[in-house]
Amino acid sequence: MAEVLPLVEARLTTTLGEPDARAAVTFLGTDRIEVLRFHEDLQGENVVRYATLGMSAHPMSDPTAMVADPVKGPRAELVLSVRAGLAETDKVLRALAVLAASPQVEGLVVTPGASLDVGDPLWPGAPFTSVLVGEPGGLVEDLELDEPLDPVRFLPLLPMTPNEAAWKRVHGAGALQERWLANGTDLRDPYRKSAPLD
């Protein structure tokens, strides 16, 4: 189903502009995952966005299913937004490719509200090793595909500190997002501190 990917890339470039860089990672036994980089100037703030391309080539399937359905099932790509120029955030490329390959490698179905942990800092000096998967549709609209294929959803990734990840496990994704909102947490800050969780 690789013909899905040109449509996905077209949706990304229509929404975010032309990418200024791209990298490809291939893991043993998986299809190639690309990560595209986009720069955007938001009211004087330079934001860099990283979007995966390749995760949606196949539907994610229930790991308990005896046989993976090659057609039906949720499809997604991942999008991470951070402030540019403050950290070596380009080093996040491999971590994003690992997360995008996880449905193929681990039979994982990535859904909003899930926590994904890469085990290492997302970039050098980053206080985050994990991300919260946000709700789709805010930045990049879902891409409808011909029946019977499910639409491709573009899932935002929100970096979490270890304290936030632990708190989210107890209280849930919605409660953590409410804390971020209540505290005016700048989720694009590549070196931000943990939000107050008392």
Q: Which residues does 15 contact at the CB level (< 8 Å), separation at least 6?
A: 139, 140, 141
CA dist., res. 130 & res. 180, Å (int): 16
| φ, ψ (nearest 5 deg) of residue 90 | -60, -20
Q: Does the bond joining 121 to the residue before it have cis omega, within 30 degrees of 0?
A: no
pLDDT bucket at 1, cuts 50 / 70 / 90: very low
Cβ atoms of 119 and 51 within 8 Å: the answer is: no
β-strand pairing of 152-160 with 75-83: parallel
- Considering only the C-alpha atoms of the chain, give the largest distance between any 2 of them, rounded to a whole number of Å: 52
pLDDT at residue number 106: 84
Encode pLDDT of 136-192 as tens digits.
Answer: 988 999 999 988 889 999 999 999 999 999 999 999 999 999 999 999 999 999 999
